[in-house]
Chain A
Amino acid sequence: MATQSGITTQADIDRELTAAQEEYAAARAGGAPAAHHPARDFPPYRSSALRHPRQPLVAVKGDPETVELSAPVFGATDVTDTDGDLTVQHPGEPLGERITVSGRLLDRQGRPVRGQLIEVWQANAAGRYAHLRDCHPAPLDPNFTGVGRVLTGDDGAYTLTTIKPGAYPWRNHNNAWRPAHIHFSVFGAAFTQRLVTQMYFPGDPLFRYDPILQSVTDDAARQRLVAAYDPALTRPEWSLGYRWDIVLDGPSATWREEDHG
Chain B
Amino acid sequence: MIQTEASSAPAIELDGLTVELGGRPILVDLCASLPGRAIGLLGPNGAGKTTLLRTLLGFFPPASGSAEVLGFSLARQGKELRAHIGYMPENDAFVAGMTAVHFVRLMAELSGLPSEPALERAHETLFYVGLGEARYRKLGTFSTGMKQMVKLAQALVHGPRLLMLDEPTNGLDPPARKRMLELVADIRDRGEANILLSSHLLRDVEELCDEVIILKNGRIAAICDLEAERRANRSFVELELQAPNEAFSAELTKLGCELAVHESGRMKLVLPEGRNIRDLYTLADRLDVGIRHIDLKRDSLQDIFLRAMEDDNGGV
A and B interact: no
Residues of B at under 8 Å CB distance from A? none
